[in-house]
Amino acid sequence: MIKSRCIVLHRFPYSDSSWIVKALTEERGVVSFILKGGKRKDSPFRGALDPLAESEVVFRENPQKAGGDGLLFVKEASLLNWRSRMRDNLMSTAVAQVMAEIVMRYAPPGVPLQEEFLLLNKALDNLDSGAELCECNTAEGTVSAGPNSAIQPLCNVFANWLLETCDLWGFHLDLNTCYRCERALDHAAADFHPESGGLICKACLGVEAPRAKNQTVQGLWMLSQGKAVGEYQVFVENALLTYLRNHMGFLKEIHSLQWLQEIRKLCSAQAT
């Protein structure tokens, strides 16, 4: 038996009464649990293995690795963290779903993913606690928002998670250096080339027209300085997503991204 913390990445129905749950466990990486009778009202797992829940599970490891269906039976599950503030915020929930889907689709299978677990858990904590101290609307963006600060403004959570995930999966992105001349940047770069690997300083870009939008390089600079990316949030996130996708060499669709974009449209329509 294995006892592990886990974060539920996705859940889908299996027969009339059961669920299959994909979860990122601290001890065994991404696994699939089958919850027989999980849909019933009296299921002992009720709530504990809902999407995005952080829980402690006790499960039996699959004895027949090859040829088996890979579904693991859960013996016990107890909810550790429901994160109700994150769930009350439509945008935060949508961001959490995108992070969960990226892990589910692209994390290496069959290996322990302890750091990925800690990283995702930290990001979810930030989404849960950051709701009240978001400084997204301040022009100055003076909040310390570096990847290592304990609490980040909401607008930096997804970007910092993407940056750290790139690092973890072997595609470190250096936001402080020009990748052509390797000199340290002392202000925002002139361009960003996600496919070749980074930021380009003004001197190296020369007379070339930049391909990246000004908002993207400004936002990446704010992020590197530990400041709230604020109005540049979407530009920064899209740039980092493109970088990650380019380097992973995958074309898989991230379905929840579309949902996130819908939510953003809704929220910006409300704000104006």
Binding residues for Zn ion, rule: CB under 5 A, are: 178, 180-181, 201, 204
Among residues 143 and 199, whose Cβ is nearest to Zn ion? 199
Partners of 58 in beta bridges: 3, 76
Minimal distance in Å, beta carbon 184 to Zn ion?
10
Neighbours of 242 (CB within 10 A): 16
Minimal distance in Å, beta carbon 204 to Zn ion?
3
Neighbours of 147 (CB within 10 A): 17
Minimal distance in Å, beta carbon 222 to Zn ion?
20
Tokens 């065994």 — which residue?
28
Among residues 151 and 181, whose Cβ is nearest to Zn ion? 181
Helix ranges, 89-138 (H): 90-106, 114-129
Minimal distance in Å, beta carbon 215 to Zn ion?
21
Among residues 82 and 179, whose Cβ is nearest to Zn ion? 179
CB-based contact 48:4 (threshold 8 Å): no
Minimal distance in Å, beta carbon 212 to Zn ion?
15
Among residues 133 and 203, whose Cβ is nearest to Zn ion? 203
Q: Which residues contact 240 (CB under 8 A, 6 or more apart)?
A: 159, 162, 163, 166, 173
182: burial class by Cβ within 10 Å (0-12, 13-18, 19+)?
A: exposed
User: How far is Cα 147 from Cα 243, in angstroms, rounded to an integer?
Assistant: 18
Among residues 46 and 193, whose Cβ is nearest to Zn ion? 193
Among residues 119 and 188, whose Cβ is nearest to Zn ion? 188
Tokens 């009240």 — which residue?
132
Minimal distance in Å, beta carbon 237 to Zn ion?
25
- CA distances 54 to 43, 62, 79, Å, are 18, 22, 6
Among residues 118 and 181, whose Cβ is nearest to Zn ion? 181
Chain centre distance of CA 263: 17
Minimal distance in Å, beta carbon 239 to Zn ion?
18
User: How far is Cα 268 from Cα 248, in angstroms, rounded to an integer?
Assistant: 31
